[in-house]
């Protein structure tokens, strides 16, 4: 649906303002869709984000400080999120022998299965969320990267 229809207005300061509002609106829309697909699986967006980061370092694991630096929401409490994931037996924390203050985070088998379930659920329930060609997706990446420069 067009931004004008969603916001019920056609008045914008200029095309840049309209594009910025569209990015904000679309991010909130995508976040709501992803949250809805995670809820039946018992995960929050923040928990999924941590698991996604840890999956990228499977099977060797990743340090907590590295997870924190890669979070989409930089204000998230990584330790609290890991506490909840560990209580669900989705991740493990191992104390490092050379630095007892640091913990190595790894996915459990249950965590890997949970991420596969998330992937299946997302693909099944949201096939239309990114109806782009590979070239269009690349253009979106380039424009968003340019905006953050």
What digits encode the pLDDT tens for the residues 12-57?
Answer: 889 999 999 999 999 999 899 889 889 999 999 999 999 999 999 9
Q: Give the pTM.
A: 0.85
State which residues form the domain around 116: 38-126
Residue of 72, 37, 32, 40 lying closest to 53 (CA atoms): 72
1 occurs within a structural domain: no
62 occurs within a structural domain: yes
70 occurs within a structural domain: yes
133 occurs within a structural domain: no
How many distinct structural domains can be found in the chain? 1
Tell me the CATH number at 106: 1.10.10.10
85 occurs within a structural domain: yes
9 contacts: CB under 8 Å, gap ≥ 6: none
What digits encode the pLDDT tens for the residues 58-90?
Answer: 999 999 999 999 999 888 899 999 999 999 999
Taking a C-beta distance cutoff of 8 angstroms, is the pair 103, 22 a contact? Answer: no
């Amino acid at each position: 649906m067009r931004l004008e229809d969603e916001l019920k207005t056609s008045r914008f300061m200029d095309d840049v303002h309209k594009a910025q509002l569209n990015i904000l609106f679309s991010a909130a829309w995508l976040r709501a869709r992803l949250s809805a697909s995670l809820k039946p699986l018992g995960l929050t967006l923040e928990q999924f984000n941590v698991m996604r980061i840890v999956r990228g370092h499977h099977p060797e694991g990743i340090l907590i400080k590295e997870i924190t630096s890669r979070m989409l929401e930089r204000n998230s409490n990584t330790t609290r999120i890991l506490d909840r994931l560990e209580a669900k037996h989705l991740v493990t924390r191992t104390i490092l022998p050379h630095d007892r203050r640091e913990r190595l985070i790894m996915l459990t088998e249950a965590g890997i299965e949970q991420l596969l379930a998330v992937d299946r659920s997302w693909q099944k329930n949201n096939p239309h969320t990114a109806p782009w060609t590979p070239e269009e997706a690349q253009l979106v990446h380039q424009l968003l990267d340019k905006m953050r420069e």
